[in-house]
């Protein structure tokens, strides 16, 4: 999507991408990125790194993966927060969160999946069927998980096209569920060791726990700065940082986010903000916003509001909780990983009260004036949970707006009107 000096077409051809379609995708995403991000005022300098990695999203980063694999490395693609990056890295492989945030090849997707499937799942299949995602094609193994029914069944179809392994995720969080999830982690270790030919040792696992925690700590710093009034960074840039965290090189990304956090903390000390004075502050909760889904943030921030937090998998659920670093043996560390990962609050779980608590706590910590509850259409779990989210937020004395949407631009006008009215009311 940048005007790259290097021609990556030979690499993309080697990966079997549909080159004309892929060019069209990069052009579309590049145009969207320019219109969404480069038109913002007073961005922190540290966001230049995000511009750079986005400019090279299918270029330099793919080249890194390509070279890594040519040297014998393995790349593992994941679709959900419950799959521990620590285990993948401890086996010497690289973990890439596969994004699924744009409408693509829906005509082909709808020959396999019902039309009324959520946009995230359709996009996941569309990128594969349309042959436009180099991350997918670089993945030696994809890891799916039994979260919602749609994903679970779509993995059966995706598995016919690519090497895919599914982890069974419990739907409750009792002690026996944690024990079961731990046993799934043990099975995953065997799978990863078979893939890579490497053995996960206590040393490699301890190092990867530390490394991934460092990435989370850097994102915690960036996001803590958003509590300041005025907030020093836009919601769009903060969301982008988490989206990039899923696929960027871990130590490099951590370093750059700490640099960004230094700048944000200085901005806070100097009272420098990005949004106009008095801009209404919004917390968004709901389904994840995979790259390049920036739709709702753009609507809110174009309407003069500012997003100060995301209670979602591309937000706080990704970085808020750390894995305990005290474990000395693999057995201890597996306990710690199982406990941490099963503590993520996804609507696929029942009950999921932790999410309700998080929404209210975050709204208070981040000085939000209101909450937007965001669901992708046809996502039953989040749509049903929306009732409880709205009631909890109202009971806490905060206004809430509920939005159901997809990845298309068709409802942008209508959503903008609703968001503007909501911001005015705050
Ligand atoms: S931990 S939120 S990443 S499952 S939007 S595909 S739930 S129908 S994405 Fe998710 Fe893991 Fe949970 Fe997070 Fe299904 Fe809903 Fe679609 Fe969803």
Does ligand 1 come within 6 angstroms of the Cβ of 151?
yes
Report the nearest atom of ligand 1 relative to the CA of 378.
8
Report the nearest atom of ligand 1 relative to the CA of 148.
14
pLDDT at 12: 98
Nearest-CA residue for atom 14 of ligand 1 = 148
Which token pair is 144?
A: 């799916």
pTM for the model: 0.97
Dist. CA 355 → ligand 1 center (Å): 14
Task: Tell me the best of 146, 343, 346, 389 to mutate to test the pocket of ligand 1, counting ligand atoms within 8 Å of each CB and taking the most.
Answer: 346
Q: What is the pLDDT of residues 356-376, one digit of tens each?
A: 999 999 999 999 999 999 999
- The rounded distance, in Å, linking the Cα atoms of 104 and 123 is 6
Beta bridge partners of 311: 285
Report the nearest atom of ligand 1 relative to the CA of 382.
15
Does ligand 1 come within 6 angstroms of the Cβ of 231?
no
Dist. CA 286 → ligand 1 center (Å): 9
Nearest-CA residue for atom 7 of ligand 1 = 148
pLDDT at 2: 47
Task: Give the chain's residues under pLDDT 70.
Answer: 1-4
Asked if 278 and 302 touch (Cβ cutoff 8 Å), the reply is no
Does ligand 1 come within 6 angstroms of the Cβ of 169?
no
pLDDT at 111: 97
pLDDT at 257: 98
Q: Would you list the domain boundaries of the chain?
A: 9-425
Dist. CA 318 → ligand 1 center (Å): 13
Dist. CA 289 → ligand 1 center (Å): 10
- The rounded distance, in Å, linking the Cα atoms of 11 and 77 is 19
């Amino acid at each position: 999507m940048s005007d790259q000096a290097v021609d990556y077409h030979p690499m993309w051809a080697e990966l079997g991408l549909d080159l004309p379609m892929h060019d069209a995708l990069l052009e579309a995403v590049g145009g969207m990125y320019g219109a969404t991000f480069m038109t913002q005022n007073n961005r922190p300098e540290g966001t230049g790194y995000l511009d750079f990695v986005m400019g090279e999203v299918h270029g330099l980063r793919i080249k890194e993966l390509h070279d890594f694999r040519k040297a014998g490395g393995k790349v593992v693609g994941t679709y959900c927060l419950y799959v521990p990056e620590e285990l993948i890295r401890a086996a010497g492989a690289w973990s890439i969160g596969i994004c699924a945030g744009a409408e693509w090849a829906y005509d082909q997707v709808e020959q396999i999946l019902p039309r009324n499937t959520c946009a995230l799942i359709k996009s996941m299949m569309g990128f594969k069927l349309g042959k436009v995602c180099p991350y997918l094609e670089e993945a030696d193994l994809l890891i799916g998980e039994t979260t919602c029914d749609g994903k679970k069944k779509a993995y059966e179809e995706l598995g016919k096209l690519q090497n895919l392994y599914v982890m069974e995720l419990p739907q409750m969080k009792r002690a026996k569920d944690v024990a079961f999830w731990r046993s799934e982690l043990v099975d995953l270790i065997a799978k990863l060791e078979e893939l890579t030919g490497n053995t996960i040792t206590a040393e490699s696992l301890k190092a990867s726990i530390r490394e991934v925690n460092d990435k989370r700590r850097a994102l915690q710093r960036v996001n803590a700065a958003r509590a300041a009034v005025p907030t020093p960074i836009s919601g769009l840039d903060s969301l982008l940082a988490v989206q990039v965290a899923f696929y960027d090189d871990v130590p490099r990304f951590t370093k750059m986010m700490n640099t960004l956090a230094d700048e944000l903390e200085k901005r806070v000390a100097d009272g420098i903000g990005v949004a106009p004075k008095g801009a209404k502050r919004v917390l968004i909760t709901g389904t994840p916003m995979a790259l390049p889904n920036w739709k709702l943030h753009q609507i809110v921030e174009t309407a003069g509001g500012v997003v100060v937090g995301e209670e979602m998998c591309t937000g706080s659920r990704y970085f808020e909780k750390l894995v305990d670093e005290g474990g000395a043996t693999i057995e201890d560390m597996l306990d710690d990983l199982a406990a941490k990962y099963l503590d993520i609050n996804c609507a696929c779980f029942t009950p999921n009260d932790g999410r309700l608590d998080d929404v209210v706590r975050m709204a208070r910590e981040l000085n939000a004036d209101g909450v937007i509850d965001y669901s992708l259409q046809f996502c039953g779990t989040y749509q049903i949970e929306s009732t409880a989210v709205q009631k909890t937020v109202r009971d806490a004395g905060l206004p809430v707006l509920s939005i159901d949407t997809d990845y298309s631009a068709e409802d942008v006008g209508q959503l903008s009107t609703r968001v503007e009215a909501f911001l005015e009311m705050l």
